[in-house]
Amino acid sequence: MDFKDPSKPPRVRAELLLRQMTAEEKVGQLVQPFGWQAYAHKDGNVVLKETFKAQVARGGVGSLYGTLRADPWTGVTLETGLSPVRGAEAVNEIQRYAIEHSRLGIPLLIGEECSHGHMAIGATVFPVPLSIGSAWNVDLYREMCRAVAKETRAQGGAVTYSPVLDIVRDPRWGRTEECFGEDPFLVGALAVAAVEGMQGERLDAPDSVAVTLKHFVGYGSSEGGRNAGPVHMGWRELLEVDLQPFRKAVEAGAASIMPAYNEIDGVPCTTNAKLLDEVLVRDWGFDGMIITDCGAIDMLAAGHDTAEDGMEAAVRALEAGIDMEMSGEMFGKYLLQALSEGKLKEEALDRAVVRVLTLKFKLGLFERPYVDAQLAGEAIGADAHVALARQLAAEGVVLLKNEGDALPLDPSAGKVAVIGPNADLGYNQLGDYTSPQPADKVTTVLAGIRAKLGAERVLYAPGCRIRGEDRDGFPAALETAQQADTVVMVVGGSSARDFGDGTIDLRTGASKVTEDAWNDMDCGEGIDRLSLRLSGVQLQLIQEVHKLGKRLVVVYINGRPIAEPWIDANADAILEAWYPGQEGGHAIADILFGDVNPSGRLTLSIPKDVGQLPVYYNGKRSRGKRYLESDLQPQYPFGYGLSYTNYEYANLTVTPVAIGPDEEATVSVDVTNAGGVAGSEVVQLYISDVASECTRPALELKGFAKIGLAPGETRAVQFRVGREQLEYVGPAYERVVEPGRFKVLVGRHSADTLAADLLVKEDGNR
């Protein structure tokens, strides 16, 4: 029983344990059933199901997925779900049974969803990744990841299926909200922060969880923006763009990775041995666990049609490099039979088992399989985490327009009408992958503004829903707007699944429960769109309100960019808030009234029209000139965002002006707050390779710094530029720095920069 010796390295312990395992026990380690189906919760009691017990007896459970997940898909509600303390106790009971009723006492790996907070009842709901990316604050995101890890591990969750590192190329895709943006450098920086924050200094710490990087790879570049559609991408672009954040995260020590559903050049990622073995393991040295997405192996036989049946699909996935199957259906059903029939190589099975066991040893599950349930009650939803959620939400809000200094609003002047379908629906501001919430936990925009001004000065009418053609609420909304001095229109999208919370009365704004609750979803996983326009009659509502001649402030709460030229032209001010999480209402109110100076910057280019797509900033120089109706420039470029103050850039210098391929230059620029209020500016560094053997993007983000400046303050901001910033994947598909001239650009955003030259000398010679 040497595998129980904690002084031995995890890999050694895993190999020692493997020698004692039967074939059934080996296969069991690769199977991950749905955790919420392992128990029943009724009248405060948790009872383990007989099906789960039978699986344990056969050695057929290595992990559980979403044991504490609550949402309409799982069927777990606020009434049937588990509190933070009870959830921790339940996981302990499940873990104890698995250990005490299996021959070798191997603990379970409890995997949970934590994209923007643990998807369990009571956990803090942070802004969605698209909002987090817009904050451009790597340190703050790392702090958020520490908080999420603490809340998750407190309940026994040991691995999370995040961060999402997909590069968005078509924002019609419903999962855009789960991504950080369109730039691989920015996504890579946040990926490293996620690994550092979630995994901490040691995986076996009581406040650390193993990350699972997803979706590997190209998932955000699907054909037509359709979920899991084919990806048409050359190998060079794959290496330079989509694989780049994953490589940075693997170098940072990521413990797990999840292949994407899609195919690339005809090969599904689930069986792409070149990606899973050659690139990930051999080239990058990844030594962690590889787990499928839910149902991905099934798709090989029914979707991609690259396997004749389930057995062939399971064997091909395992031998390509997969270690564990989320849902476990194909592995659990076929691998043992395939092994006995000689269709599966035993060394492939052993390789997968060792990688799963190694992760369990690294996490310290054999020494500390249980958690202190009382500590879960203290950690989950802690005040410090709520304050962090509010700060992140505020920093992620992007001020797109502020005509005539319409914002900030004067808190002592007049009445404010808050109108629109997202003004007071809490679920609509949380995004997908969110658990059920008690009504008093989520602060809506209406509640946030009322907290600033008092209820008597804040009027409200929903006006319409997100979707549908119902205009019954228009008269009440117009009457409400007529009584106010300023109208704040809160519109956008919804990724709220049917949580059974009913709907709202369009005439009164009151909540009402209906037998068939209206589902307003127009975003989220599996909800892809033809258009980037506002759904339903929201635009028409805004146009009718505009006729009243009131100051009009539009607040977008949504999961993908919105292209509405009329609003861009006619609104006095526009805020893009994305899905800001449970504290979003407070954060938006803080910005509307000037308590917080907006510092969010776009991580996605917003087109003038959907017909411009793709419109990402780092496209090739050879992408073309214009359309008949319009040029190729977006309405709002990558990196763009306004402030309540003005920032001036001057004195851009590059020292030295010539370097060798392995040398560095220092880039310096003076940034001044030339306005009257304090603020934070995102200083952005771009590199443009003037001439290269293979075609390159016109410019690429290679550095950024978010700095706070007092009125009148000037600060010199410096960046280092060397091989990492200058290299690209050359003709031989290797990273090279070619000699020649480079443009170094620094400024407010991708379309507003100062420029200087940098010369790279051949072989370091002048």
- Active-site residues: which are they? 293
* One-letter identity of residue 25: E
Calculate the CA 627 to chain-centre distance. Answer: 33
Give dist(CA 642, CA 398) in Å, integer.
Answer: 7
Q: Which residues neighbour 419 within 8 Å (Cβ) at sequence distance 6 or greater?
A: 460, 461, 462, 463, 477, 480, 481, 487, 488, 489, 490, 541, 545
Whose CA is closest to 37, among 26, 45, 47, 27?
47
**What is d(CA 398, CA 244) in angstroms, rounded to the nearest whole number?**
26
Please answer whether residues 76 and 90 qualify as being in contact, where contact means their C-beta atoms are separated by less than 8 angstroms.
no
Instruction: Please report how many Cα atoms fall inside a 13 Å half-sphere around the Cα of residue 648, on the Cβ side.
Output: 10
Q: What's phi and psi for 234, nearest 5 deg?
A: -75, 160
Distance from C-alpha of 350 to C-alpha of 481, rounded to nearest angstrom: 67
- How is residue 711 annotated by DSSP? T
CB atoms under 10 Å from CB of 740, counted, come to 16
Which residue do the tokens 């359709």 mark? 226
CA separation (Å) from 389 to 194, 531, 587? 16, 31, 9
| Strand intervals (E) in 66-167 | 109-112, 159-160
Give yes or no for a contact between 250 and 286, defined as CB atoms under 8 angstroms apart: yes
In 10 A of CB 543, how many CB atoms? 13
731-736 contacts, C-beta under 8 A, 24 or more apart = 731/693, 731/694, 733/235, 733/236, 733/239
Q: In Å, what is the CA distance from 728 to each residue of 178, 277, 281, 498, 658?
A: 27, 23, 21, 46, 19
- Angstrom distance (rounded) from CA 739 to CA 760: 5
- What lies within 8 Å, CB to CB, of 440 at 6+ separation is none
The rounded distance, in Å, linking the Cα atoms of 505 and 175 is: 29
Place of tokens 């009723």: 101
DSSP symbol at 431: -
DSSP state of 38: S
